[in-house]
């Protein structure tokens, strides 16, 4: 099997990929992640996942490269990583009582052959109504400033939800493992 390379610097994606028990290494792709004018969320994440895989493949001609990208969408608006506590607060209050959908683009590229398989995995979260005090308490304990949507579902963020809808909750963290196993299988990588 070719070297398996995760085209990401995300510690969250690295932790998820470890669950599959595969040997891999990480390499950060250097791409412009800005959306194109009027680009829908699904097209954006697929394009970026593919670009990340191709960027890393340029320096790893024998690698099997995994690229992934994610956006959070509420009412048709793409939400980025908040970066600051105030923006996290605003994102969480705006999501209170509403449905938020995460789109995760996933690409697997065989650098040697140029064969690429990609998909977009949706996953939705229905937030429960939240008071400002609840949001502040959440942010005190788990700021999640580097997470789209300003929460970590694998931590205290789960307490913010009424329900989740989708086939793979790993999608919320940024790497849909069920879909990844399917795509890796197309390249002869069997898990387990």
In angstroms, the Cα distances linking 181 to 62, 150, 168 are 20, 28, 12
Distance CA(71)–CA(62), nearest Å, equals 30
- Residue 69 among the catalytic residues: yes
Rounded Cα distance between 30 and 159, Å, is 35
The three-state secondary structure class of 116 is strand
The catalytic position among 3, 23, 32, 69 is 69
Positions marked active-site: 69
């Amino acid at each position: 099997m070719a070297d398996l390379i995760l085209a990401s610097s995300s510690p969250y994606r690295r932790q998820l990929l470890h669950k599959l028990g595969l040997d891999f290494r990480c390499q950060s792709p250097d791409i412009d992640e800005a959306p194109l004018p009027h680009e829908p969320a699904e097209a954006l994440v697929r394009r970026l996942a593919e670009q990340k895989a191709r960027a890393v493949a340029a320096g790893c001609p024998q690698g099997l490269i995994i690229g992934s990208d994610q956006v959070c969408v509420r009412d048709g608006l793409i939400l980025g990583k908040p970066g600051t506590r105030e923006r996290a607060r605003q994102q969480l209050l705006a999501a209170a009582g509403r449905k938020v959908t995460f789109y995760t683009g996933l690409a697997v590229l065989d650098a040697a052959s140029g064969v690429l398989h990609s998909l977009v995995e949706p996953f939705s979260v229905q937030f429960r109504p939240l008071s400002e005090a609840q949001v502040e308490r959440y942010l005190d304990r788990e700021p999640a400033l580097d997470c789209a949507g300003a929460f970590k579902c694998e931590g205290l963020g789960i307490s913010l939800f009424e329900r989740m809808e989708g086939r793979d909750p790993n999608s919320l963290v940024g790497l849909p493992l069920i879909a990844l196993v399917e795509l890796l299988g197309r390249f002869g990588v069997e898990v387990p």
